Amino acid sequence: MSVKKQLKNPLVQQYVLEILLPIVGYFFFDWSLTIIAAFYLIDFFSSEIARNRRVYKVYSVNEVDTILPFIISLISGIILFSISILWVWLMLSWYHTDYEVEMITELKAFAREELWLLLPIVYLVYHVKDVMTFYMPRKFMQVRYKPMVKFQVLELLILTILILSGTFIWQFFQLPDLVVLFGFVIIKIGFDILVARTLDEKYQS
C-alpha cells in the first residue's frame, strides 16, 4: 500500500496526529510538557464524546429495553475524566509550587491562541475514523450493547490509571523532558493498539 493510501486511512490519521503534533509542538512551537499533557487530555475528552456517541447509536438501533448502561457509560466518563484533570493539576502544582502562576498563564495563552482550533481538529479526526470504521460499515448492528458498555468502561478505567500513575512517576522522579515527551507518545499509542483494540474485539458479535 502506498504512503498516500495509508494516509487516507482514518486510523493512520489518528496516530499521525497523536504522534507528530506533540513532537512538532515541543520542538517547533515551544510547547511545554504542561501543554502537551493538556493536548492529551483534549484527546481524552474528544475520544469520550465519540465513544458515547457510538454507545448511544448501539442503544438506539438495537431496541434494548433500558438506557441505563448508556447513562453508566456517560457518568463513568465524566467522573474519570474529571479525576484525570484534577490529578494532573495537583501533581504539577504540588511539585512545582512556584510554577503554578506561570502554568495558569501558559494554559490561558494556549486556550486563547490554539485550543479553539485544536479541539475541533482532534474531535474531527475521531469523528472521521468512526464514520469510516463504525457508522458506514454499520458495525453498530454487530455490537452487543451491554458488553460494549462494560468493556469500554474497563478501557476507560485502564486509561485513567495510566494517566494517574504516569503523571505521578513523571513528577516524583522529575524525569527529563524528552523521556516524558516520548513516554506520552509510546503509552498513548501502546494503549490504543494493545488495550483498546483488544477490548473492542470482545463485544463484537
Domain boundaries, position 34: 20-201
Q: What is the pLDDT of residue 66?
A: 86
87-97 pLDDT, tens per residue? 999 998 886 66
Contact 36, 181 (CB under 8 A): yes
Q: What is the pLDDT of residue 1?
A: 54
Helix (H, G, I), strand (E, B) or coil at 174: coil
Contact 186, 106 (CB under 8 A): no
- Residue 14 in any domain: the answer is no
Distance CA 151, CA 54 (A): 13
- Residue 6 in any domain: the answer is no
Residue 136's φ and ψ, nearest 5 degrees, are -65, -40
Q: What is the pLDDT of residue 103?
A: 85
Bridge partners, residue 143, by sequence: 204
- Residue 12 in any domain: the answer is no
* Residues in the chain with pLDDT values less than 50: none
Q: What is the pLDDT of residue 112?
A: 92
- Residue 3 in any domain: the answer is no
Q: Is 138 left (phi over 0), alpha (psi -120 to 50) or beta?
A: left
Distance CA 33, CA 18 (A): 14
- Residue 2 in any domain: the answer is no
Query: What domain count does the chain have?
Result: 1
120-132 pLDDT, tens per residue? 999 999 999 999 9
Contact 139, 62 (CB under 8 A): no
Q: What is the pLDDT of residue 96?
A: 66
